[in-house]
Amino acid sequence: MPANKKHLTASPWQRLLKVTAAFVGGYMVSMSFHLLLMAFMDRTTVFITMRFSVYILWAALMVIAFLAKNGWKIWGIYLGLSLIFFLPYLLKMMGK
Amino acid sequence: MNLRNYNIYFHTHTISGIIISLILYVIFFAGSFAFFKTEIASWQKNTPNSVVEKSGTDMNRIRDTMAAGMDLYGRDLYITLNERTSRMTVSASASKDTTIKDKGGFFYMDATSFKKQDYRKSYDLGEFLYRLHFLAPLNVIGGRGFLFGYYLAGLVAFLFLFAIITGTLVHWKKIVSNFYVFRPWEKLKTLWTDIHTALGVITLPFLFVFAVTGTYYLVSFPLVTQPTAKVQYGGSTDSLFQQTIPGRTNYAFEDKKLNHVPDLNAYFKDAQQKLKGAELRNLIVYNYGDQGMRIRISAVNQQRSFTEPGTVIYNGKTGKVEKLTPIDQKGSYIKAVDSLVYSLHFGNYGGNIVRILYFLLGIAGCIVIISGVMIWLVARNKKNIPEKKRRFNEWLANIYLSASIGMYPVTAAAFIAVKLNPGADRGFVYSFYFWVWLVITILLVLRRNNYKTTRDCLLIGGLLGVAIPIVNGLVTGNWIWVSMRHGYTDILLIDLLWTVIGITSLVTWLLVVRQQQEKLLHKLSPSGV
């Protein structure tokens, strides 16, 4: 019994959005989240933890992206989160 | 459970699984054998681990052998001992003295003869299977600088992590109740499902660890290290590594020669005293022969300290100890994670027992993959699915199974081939393995019968597997009982491993054939339905 089609995304655009949000967006959120931690905590400790935590968080975010009802929305959320998490670095870059 | 979520988990698990299945199978199958990489090398070259105790190794002699090929001044030298093989790895960096132009190098050296061998020439089947398991041979596709094979393997490992998570979510509710369900003689669909879920649950922690650490090894540099270095370490991955990898320190090169030849053996002996109870594993000399020379010696004892190696660093100019980290001291988080990732992936922490267990879990992983493909195929082999789609599915599963199951007899044959050809180098291993694999896959694909593919690969692989120790005995005289008497545990391990694998698959073959015959009889008899 393959999965029941009525619960899956039918529109190819929506599907593309979800796949890219899962893979690219998930990576961006996971990376920027860890970089945010680095800005406030001991960066060596965070970097070593990233050996496993980056990928686990990324995969979890992938699952969440596929559960989303709307591909645009999840892309918006992931982009927004990445920007917020990356804020300390953006401010530093602009301050220069 | 929410029906929508369940179906999404189910679908994403299926799609990610079917995309990675063939490559993941290759990774798992080759990787399982790669746990015995050093033993395979010793077995192939017939060089049993003659000096198990490496603490008496003559470090000065290693240095002198290296110095015969190059001026060592200003180089960093790395000498690594392995308690499982008499082959030591030895390498030298480029010199920091810019007037010394010749590059460094990577060699193997034998612990008894101190003969230097270059990497290419002493290539062996163990190295081949190890490198195949992260698709190193595919790096040529990307051309210079783009490690196509590594990145592909890393992508597969990451999608595998995703498939593990979604698979667990699908199976979550039945994880306990279905664990004891095994219905091998019911219809095929339930057989594949039971195998997939039962073995999947048993191997879950193991698979999870391998998915995470595998991804780390293959794609962390471009995806994590480089971006982090860019925003946090001024764009320099070197300075990032120096701060985050234990033991990675840069000692300044002073460009003034020492007026004595350093006695590496003295340092090595002294370190044994200082790190009592641990086995010395490697010796690193920074800035050899320079006033800024440092000697770093490290040792492990995983029974006493699972993740912490003990180290001692000497100042090469004064000969005094600069820093001593005893084996029992309370470790740091950074060191612990650093060695844990390595230990968990390579299974080097509990002797042969752990590696044999890892091997079995790896093979179980292969079976999880194959049964997954079979569920995918059987579930779609229904009347309501268009004929065209069904034919495509059948072809795809046919190709996947032929290539993956075909790997077993090819690997067994490769062990025999390298034994019969003492001059087997990288070119030979490559062309033998890949050509035979291609031909067998094409033949099996053309025959288009998954049952016969499995049956015949079990038979041929089993026969070849049982033949491996016999061929080894005939060629080298090291029969199983001879190896046993002399204590050649590494050679013995490979011979026994193949004996067990061979017999197991012959028994399986017999069961499979009997089962099929009964089915046929049942069909032919008039009372059968």
Angle between helical axes of A43-67 and B3-34 (0-180°, round to 10)? 130
Q: Which of B410, B418, B415 is nearest to B437 (CA)?
A: B410
Residues B23, B160: one domain? yes
- Read off the pLDDT band of B187 (50, 70, 90): confident
Identify the domain boundary among B331, B361, B385.
Answer: B331
Are residues A48 and B212, on separate chains, in Cβ contact within 8 Å?
Answer: no
CA gap A82, B130 in Å, rounded: 38
Residue B3 at interface with chain A, using a CB cutoff of 8 Å? yes
**Structure letter (DSSP) for residue B24:** H
pLDDT at A56 over 90: yes
- The CA-atom distances, in angstroms, between B482 and each of B375, B468, B479, B500 are 46, 15, 5, 18
CB contact at 8 A, B322 and B315: yes
Smallest CA–CA distance, residue A49 to chain B, in Å, is 7
- Higher pLDDT, residue B254 or B508: B508
Among candidates B4, B212, B333 on the partner chain, residue whose Cβ is nearest the Cβ of A52: B212
Residues B78, B174: one domain? no
CA gap A52, B158 in Å, rounded: 11
Closest chain B CA to residue A88: B231
Question: Is residue B483 a part of any domain in this protein?
Answer: yes
Chain B from 366 to 425: CB within 8 A of any A CB: 379-380
pLDDT number for residue B362: 96
pLDDT number for residue B335: 84
Question: Is residue B240 a part of any domain in this protein?
Answer: no
Chain A interface test: which of B2, B13, B212 (most A C-beta within 10 Å): B212
Question: Is residue B202 a part of any domain in this protein?
Answer: yes
Residues in chain A: 96
- The CA-atom distances, in angstroms, between B414 and each of B4, B209, B226 are 48, 29, 39
**B172-185 average pLDDT score:** 77
Among candidates B3, B215, B337 on the partner chain, residue whose Cβ is nearest the Cβ of A7: B3
% pLDDT > 90, chain B? 50
Residues B439, B375: one domain? yes
Are residues A44 and B243, on separate chains, in Cβ contact within 8 Å?
Answer: yes
Residues B317, B401: one domain? no
CA gap B511, B459 in Å, rounded: 11
pLDDT at B182 over 80: no
Residue B7 at interface with chain A, using a CB cutoff of 8 Å? yes
| Contacts with B369 (C-beta within 8 Å, 6 or more apart), sequence order | B21, B24, B25, B28, B404
Please report, for chain B, how many H helices and E strands are present, in that order. 17, 8
pLDDT at A55 over 50: yes
Chain A interface test: which of B221, B223, B343, B377 (most A C-beta within 10 Å): B223
Question: Is residue B229 a part of any domain in this protein?
Answer: no
Give residue-wise pLDDT tens across range B389-420: 999 999 999 999 999 999 999 999 999 999 99
Are residues B380 and A55, on separate chains, in Cβ contact within 8 Å?
Answer: no
- Read off the pLDDT band of B244 (50, 70, 90): confident
Question: Is residue B497 a part of any domain in this protein?
Answer: yes
Helix, strand, coil in percent for chain B, rounding step 5: 60, 10, 30
- Higher pLDDT, residue A53 or B245: A53
Smallest CA–CA distance, residue A2 to chain B, in Å, is 6
- Higher pLDDT, residue B207 or B248: B207
pLDDT at B72 over 90: no
Residues B35, B107: one domain? no
**A33-54 average pLDDT score:** 93
CB contact at 8 A, B431 and B376: no
**B215-244 average pLDDT score:** 88
Chain B from 205 to 244: CB within 8 A of any A CB: 211-213, 215-216, 220, 223-224, 227-228, 231-232, 240, 243-244
Among candidates A7, A63, A89 on the partner chain, residue whose Cβ is nearest the Cβ of B165: A63
- Among B285-294, B352-361, B446-455, B518-527, which stretch is predicted with the lowest mean pLDDT? B518-527
| Contacts with B388 (C-beta within 8 Å, 6 or more apart), sequence order | none
| Contacts with B488 (C-beta within 8 Å, 6 or more apart), sequence order | B48, B49, B478, B482
Question: Is residue B117 a part of any domain in this protein?
Answer: no
Residue B374: which H helix or E strand, with range? helix B351-379
Residues of B in contact with A8 (CB under 8 A): 7-8, 11
CB contact at 8 A, B370 and B364: no
Q: Which of B202, B138, B163, B508 is nearest to B362 (CA)?
A: B202
Are residues B334 and A44, on separate chains, in Cβ contact within 8 Å?
Answer: yes
Residues of B in contact with A52 (CB under 8 A): 212-213, 216, 337, 341
CA gap B312, B350 in Å, rounded: 24
Residues B17, B64: one domain? no
CB pairs under 8 A between A and B: 87
Q: Tell me which residue has tokens 């395979």.
A: B40
% pLDDT > 70, chain A? 98
pLDDT at B236 over 60: yes
Residues B446, B508: one domain? yes
CA gap A56, B171 in Å, rounded: 19
Mean residue pLDDT of chain B comes to 89
pLDDT number for residue B527: 56
pLDDT number for residue B191: 85
Question: Is residue B364 a part of any domain in this protein?
Answer: yes
Query: Half-sphere exposure (CA, 13 Å, Cβ side) for B109?
Result: 23
- Read off the pLDDT band of B292 (50, 70, 90): confident
Residues B163, B38: one domain? yes
CB contact at 8 A, B62 and B90: yes
Are residues B14 and A31, on separate chains, in Cβ contact within 8 Å?
Answer: no
Residue B439 at interface with chain A, using a CB cutoff of 8 Å? no
Identify the domain boundary among B268, B298, B331.
Answer: B331
- Read off the pLDDT band of B185 (50, 70, 90): low
Phi, psi angles (nearest 5°) of residue A75: -65, -45
Mean residue pLDDT of chain A comes to 92
Residues B138, B11: one domain? yes
Residue B185 at interface with chain A, using a CB cutoff of 8 Å? no
**B209-229 average pLDDT score:** 94
Residues B83, B200: one domain? no
Which two structure tokens, joined as six digits, stand for B516? 């099929």
**B297-308 average pLDDT score:** 80
- Among B150-154, B286-290, B299-303, B351-355, which stretch is predicted with the lowest mean pLDDT? B299-303
Q: What are the strands of the beta sheet with B294-300, ordered from one edge?
A: B116-118, B105-110, B87-92, B77-80, B279-286, B294-300, B310-315, B321-325
CA gap B238, B225 in Å, rounded: 10
Question: Is residue B224 a part of any domain in this protein?
Answer: no
Closest chain A CA to residue B335: A48
| Structural domain of B271 | 54-111+247-331
pLDDT number for residue B528: 45
Give residue-wise pLDDT tens across range B118-136: 888 888 999 999 999 999 9
pLDDT number for residue B281: 86
Closest chain B CA to residue A24: B223
**B298-314 average pLDDT score:** 82
Q: Tell me which residue has tokens 């268009």.
A: B386
Residues B42, B100: one domain? no
* Pairing of β B116-118 and β B279-286: unpaired
Among candidates B6, B14, B232 on the partner chain, residue whose Cβ is nearest the Cβ of A2: B14
pLDDT number for residue B522: 80
pLDDT at B15 over 60: yes
| DSSP per residue, B409-463 | HHHHHHHHHHHH-TT--HHHHHHHHHHHHHHHHHHHHHHT-HHHHHHHHHHHHHH
- The CA-atom distances, in angstroms, between B478 and each of B86, B428, B470, B485 are 17, 24, 9, 10
pLDDT number for residue B529: 43
pLDDT at B150 over 90: yes
CA gap B207, B507 in Å, rounded: 27
Identify the domain boundary among B302, B331, B360.
Answer: B331
Domain ranges of chain A: 23-95
Residues in chain B: 529
Among candidates B8, B158, B220 on the partner chain, residue whose Cβ is nearest the Cβ of A51: B220
Domain count, chain B: 2
Which two structure tokens, joined as six digits, stand for B26? 């290759």
Residues B41, B65: one domain? no
pLDDT at B85 over 90: no
